Amino acid sequence: MIITNGKIVTWDQPNQILEDQAILIQGGKISKIDDEANLLAQYPEEEKLDANRQYVMPGLICAHTHFYGAYSRGLAIPTEPPPAFPEILRDLWWSLDKALDEKAVRSSAWVSIIDAIKHGNTTLFDHHASPNFISDSLDVIADVVDKSGIRASLAYEVTDRDGIKKSEAGIQENIRFLQRLKQGDTLEGRLAGSFGLHASLTLSQDTLEKVRGALDDQFGVHIHVAEHISDEYDSLKKSGMRVVDRLNSFDLLNENAIVAHAVHVDAKEIALLADTKTWVTHQPRSNMNNAVGIGNVESMMRAGISVCLGNDGFSNTMWDEWKTAYLVHKLVNQDPRRMGGYEVVNMAVYQNADMASHFFGLPVGMVKEGAAADLIFVDYTPFTDLSAGNLPWHIIFGMQHSMITMTMVAGKVLMANRQLRTIDEEKVMAEAFENSHSVWEHYNSQF
Ligand SMILES: [Zn+2]
């Protein structure tokens, strides 16, 4: 396939916006970028996709999400309003996850992935929990990844909060799924994985020891760290160490490990995350919603940590996460010079692309020869100069997800002219709605 007639944002280093160039896509990858007339003359038989003067850019990447949270939409917590994050966990998430059976896991993956494709996401890192349907749950989600055409990394969150049997089952589910990946069953490179852990505060020393024993060095953990201050105090009580030191004492931090949030880590923990080359993900909308505080991600980046941007299961509108990151650090620090557009792009574009490329084993998140053909079209008409240099501010102040008209993953068009191509959306939504009744009933029955 040849993409013609687009203004191509490469998000390479340095970023460029190419005019009069076309992109040749073969075998799911970008195989050539060249002068449009040349490319058309060289490959006259190739199918053409006219970008119609839209911006063509790498698809959005989400570094940390929860498909299983889909059924929280519109759900009322039947208790007094939770005063802090530990009560939000108890009254919302740890009750909702128990209400998910196989059907609900499948449906929540479908609706989340549909939402993602419609808003221009092409790669997502999911973190899953369904304590009453653990075994094979990652295969159910992987089946949706397969059928939908998206690129995703999956993990099952091991936790002791539902008893030792379920903790053990979570460990086994990660082992089973990662073994599948190791044997090469990766949906032609669209499927990856981590060993999921909930958070230090629901993991005992024994369980962390078991995880270390079960973890193949080819993979790393994906865990929430110091999202709320209670995680640090719990860790100090259990082990005499802060959370990052505690995880490091089990040798769980390395270039394959993903740490979500890191809101309350101290300077020593930041240094340790940098030394171990651990990926950190930042989710400012979730942090604001849970009122947990906001991680000092500018310092983390200065310390050399690769800080990526995720959505933590909020709507899959990653540009909203960009905009929130851009705004909240200014407010918190009462300084409009904080978190500039380039810092946002560093997380959302470059670090996310680095992490995706590391996990999927090929360049992802940039337009260059050999990279994954994961692309979007954006129907945006600037009324001021737009250059590679000021593009971050055009995105933050000008671009909206409603302008995304086409989403492609691995060379396959998943949405064209805002219509899903590979998914019967009406049928999937009807099934999800049907399942929602039993999920909400099960959730409410616990109070
Ligand atoms: Zn999360």
pLDDT in tens, 37-89: 999 999 999 999 999 999 999 999 999 999 999 999 999 999 999 999 999 99
Average pLDDT over residues 27-36: 98
Coil, strand, or helix at residue 150? coil
Q: pLDDT at position 334, please?
A: 98
Residues 6+ apart with CB under 8 A from 267: none
Strands 17-18 and 404-409: unpaired
- Cβ atoms of 255 and 358 closer than 8 Å: yes
Question: What pLDDT sits at residue 298?
Answer: 98
Distance 64 CA to ligand 1 centre (A): 6
Residue 21 CA to ligand 1 center (angstroms) comes to 40
User: What is the CA(36)–ligand 1 centre distance, in A?
Assistant: 43
- Please, what is the average pLDDT of the chain? 98
Q: How far is the CA of 308 from the centre of ligand 1 (A)?
A: 13
SS3 state of residue 405: strand
How far apart, in whole angstroms, are the C-alpha atoms of residue 200 and residue 193?
A: 20
Q: Ligand 1 being an ion, which residues bring their Cβ within 5 A of it? A: 312
Residue identified by tokens 């082990």 is 239
Percentage of residues in the chain having pLDDT higher than 70: 100
Write out pLDDT tens, residues 236-261.
999 999 999 999 999 999 999 999 99
User: Three-state DSSP class for 75?
Assistant: coil
pLDDT-derived band at 5 (thresholds 50, 70, 90) equals very high
Question: How many C-beta atoms lie closer than 10 Å to residue 80's C-beta?
Answer: 8
Q: Could you check whether the bond before residue 14 is cis, i.e. omega within 30 degrees of 0?
A: yes
pLDDT in tens, 269-288: 999 999 999 999 999 999 99
pLDDT tens for residues 83-120? 999 999 999 999 999 999 999 999 999 999 999 999 99
pLDDT digits (tens, 9 = 90+) for 306-362: 999 999 999 999 999 999 999 999 999 999 999 999 999 999 999 999 999 999 999
Helix segments in 119-202, DSSP class H:
137-148, 164-182
Distance (Å) from CA 222 to ligand 1 centroid: 10
